[in-house]
Chains A and B, each alone.
With several copies, the nearest count.
Chain A
Amino acid sequence: METGYQDIPGTYVQDGEHCRKGYHLNQCLMTLNKAHCREAFRADEAAYLAGFKLTEPQRDAILKRQWLEMLRLGGNVYFTFKLAAFDGMTMQDLGAAMSREGMSGDEFRKMMLDGGRSIEGNRYVSEWEQN
C-alpha cells in the first residue's frame, strides 16, 4: 500500500480517511450533475443542503464558498469544482482561490503562462516550513 504521501505540501490526498470524512459532502455536490438539482439548489441553497447528511462546518463551507475549507473537511476537487462551475468559475479561478498565496484568477492564469508553479521547493512540507 502507498505510504509517505503525507509530507507533500498543500495537497489533500483522497485516501480512505479523506473519503470517509468527506463522503456526504462530495455526494451532495455530485448531485449538481443533474439539471433539476442545479435548479433546486439555485432556488434555495440552504433548503437544498438540508436534504444531505452534512456536518455544520461542511454546510457552512459550501454556503460561503470556502474552497480550501471544503477540502479540509473531506472535499475532493472534482466534486467541489461542480459548485465552482455552478458559480461560473473556471478551474483557474478555483486554483487561484485555493493557492497558498491567495491569488486572483488573472494572477493564476499568468502564473500558468509563465510555466506554472515550479516543482522546485514544492515537493515536501519541510520546504514550505522553511519559507
Chain B
Amino acid sequence: MAKIVHGMGSPHVPSIGAAIDHHKEAEEYWKPFFDGIEPVRDWHKNNLPDTIILVYNDHASTFSLQTIPTFALGLADEFEPADEGYGPRPVPVVKGDPELAWHLANVLVSDEGFDLTLCNELDVDHGLTVPLSIAYNRPDAWPVKVIPLAVNMVQAPQPSVKRCYALGKAIARAVASFPGERNVAVWGTGGMSHQLQGERAGLLNVEYDAQFIEDLVNNPDSLEGLTYTELLRETGSEGVELAMWMIMRGALPLEVQEQYRFMHRPVSNTSYGVTILKNGEL
C-alpha cells in the first residue's frame, strides 16, 4: 500500500546549496539560518520516506525557451545534477523511482487529464537538489528516491494556482492507487518573496510570506484563486514560485499536523520560510 506521509514547503535558494557545498554553515551570515533548519534535519532523520515527489522548477538549466513543459515528470532511474553555468553541484546523483513514476504518469495523464511531459532523461538543477541538501545535509548518497516534477515558472503562461492545487489532489489519488508499498512525501519548493531582476530587484514581503504559510497550512482552499499578477506584485517576479507549494498542499488532506515552521531573511535575495506537514489522516 502506498500513502503520502508528509509534505514540506521550502525555497530552494542556490546560495544555500553553495553554503553547504563550501562548509560555510558557521559563518555569521549563515549561522542563524542553519540553526533554524536544524530541527528540519532532525525531523527528517526520523521520518525518511521511500520516495519524494519533488516539485520544483528548472531555471534555464535543462529547459531552454525552445521547449517549455508546463509539468514535466521524471521517469528515469537517475538524474544528474545540472551544469547551471558554473559546473554541476558536487552532490550525489539523484535516484529515481521509475515504477511509481510510470504509475503516476498513467493515472495522471489517462484518468486525471493532466497533460504531463514525460522525461526519460532530466538533469536536475538547484531547484531540486537544494531542498535535498536542506533536509539531508551532505550524505554520500541521498537516503531517498526522488521523482522530479518540474513546473514551468519562468515563462508565462504558468499553470494557474488552481491547477497546481488540483494536480496535488490528483497526485494523492494516484499514489493511493499504486499497487506497491511506498511511503511517499511531496515537497513544494521555490519562493518565498524575492525579485532577482529589474529596477525593483531585492524586493521582500515577509508579511505576505507569513500569511501565505499560515493560509497554506490551515486554510489552503482560500489560496486557490491566487493569481500570478498578485504574486508578481506582492512577492516579486521570482516569488511566483510559491504556486508550487500548492501542489504539495493539494497532495495532503485538509487535516495536517504541522511539525515545524521557521522563517528567516534574507537568504541571498530571498525571504526564507519552511513548513513540514504530517498527513493528519494517518
Contacts and interface: CB of A to CB of B under 8 A. Distances in A.
A and B touch in the complex (CB under 8 A): yes
Interface of A: 1-5, 8-17, 19-20, 23, 26-27, 30, 32-35, 38, 68, 71, 76-79, 81-82, 85-86, 90-92, 94-96, 98-100, 108, 111-113, 115-119, 122-124
Given A2-B227, A16-B106, A91-B15, A82 B269 contact: no
Contacts of A92: 268-269
Interface stretch (B38-46, B59-67, B247-255): B59-67
Interface residues of B, number: 57
A79 B240 CA distance: 17
Contact of B265 (A5, A86, A116): A116
A12 to B, nearest CB: 5
B184 interface: no
Contacts of A79: 60
A100 B198 CA distance: 8
Given A85-B86, A94-B196, A78 B156 contact: no
A29 B99 CA distance: 25
A16 B5 CA distance: 26
B128 interface: no
Given A11-B198, A30-B65, A119-B203, 15 more contacts: A1-B111, A3-B229, A4-B229, A9-B200, A10-B199, A14-B237, A19-B120, A20-B75, A30-B60, A32-B85, A34-B83, A82-B60, A90-B15, A112-B265, A117-B201
